[in-house]
Copies of this chain bind each other. A is one copy, B any other.
Amino acid sequence: MFTKVLVAEDYEIANQGIIKILNDKIGIHNIQEAKYCDDAYLKFRKAYNDKEAFELLITDLSFREDHKIQTRASGIDLIKDIRSVQPDIKVIVYSQENRPDKINMLFEKLDINGYVCKGQHAIKELIACVNGVYQNNTVRPPELTNNTAINTMIHLDDLDMMLLEELSQGFTKKEIRTKLKKQKISPNSESAIDKRVSKLFDDFKAKNTTHLVAIVKDLGLL
């Protein structure tokens, strides 16, 4: 089993919870914790330089903003930076994120080894994940395999996201059209935008713009 693990998670209680599981249930005792990305990187770097490198990184994705100025804003940056130094370190992400496309992105772009959703069954999943990753498997969360939900079906491109963002900020379609023209993004005609938004209505089964934004906010896409 892994003997040396780094845990990066800003929620202290969750941080302690992970350590307790690793301790009690998996028997890993050489654990260091960090509440900030930069702090995590420093601890990683020191261990690496001392030839006592970590074998596994367990990290959250989002770190709440704080008074401390961070060069790394998210766990994604942290993973990239650490992997650029020590490419073979195993990485497990432990996060609230449950959007399949986002989680898949982590596996595809960052080549992470495992993912555990914060939730009711996190202990069992974490244990299974650490064991699986130790055996060189890629461990995706059960939600991902079962859940072929809306998010995966509906493909939102950059323009869709921009439209949703602008609409949620209260801009009229005329204003949005003007912005698009200024940025020389096409399509930028009134009816093209109308069509795009109407398609979003269909996709999300929304009655109007307000409803659409409410749905998308609830889904956490915005």
Is A72 in the interface zone, CB < 8 Å from B?
Answer: no
CB distance from A208 to the nearest CB of B (A): 5
CA distance A209 to B211 in the complex (A): 10
Q: Is the CB of A210 within 8 A of B170?
A: yes
Q: Is the CB of B120 within 8 A of A11?
A: yes
Q: Is the CB of B168 within 8 A of A35?
A: no
CA distance A217 to B212 in the complex (A): 12
This chain: copies in complex = 2
CB distance from A7 to the nearest CB of B (A): 11
Q: Is the CB of A11 within 8 A of B119?
A: yes
CB distance from A37 to the nearest CB of B (A): 13
Instruction: Summarize A's interface: helix, strand, loop or mixed.
Output: helix
Is A155 in the interface zone, CB < 8 Å from B?
Answer: no
Q: Is the CB of A120 within 8 A of B35?
A: yes
CB distance from A100 to the nearest CB of B (A): 18
CA distance A31 to B143 in the complex (A): 31
Q: Is the CB of B213 within 8 A of A120?
A: no
Q: Is the CB of B217 within 8 A of A120?
A: no
Cβ-neighbour of A218 out of B16, B19, B217 (below 8 A): B217
CA distance A171 to B189 in the complex (A): 27
Q: Which B residues are in CB contact (< 8 Å) with A43?
A: none
CB distance from A68 to the nearest CB of B (A): 10
CB distance from A66 to the nearest CB of B (A): 6
CA distance A17 to B35 in the complex (A): 14
Of A45-53, A121-129, A133-141, A177-185, the one contacting chain B is: A121-129
Q: Which B residues are in CB contact (< 8 Å) with A119?
A: 11-12, 64
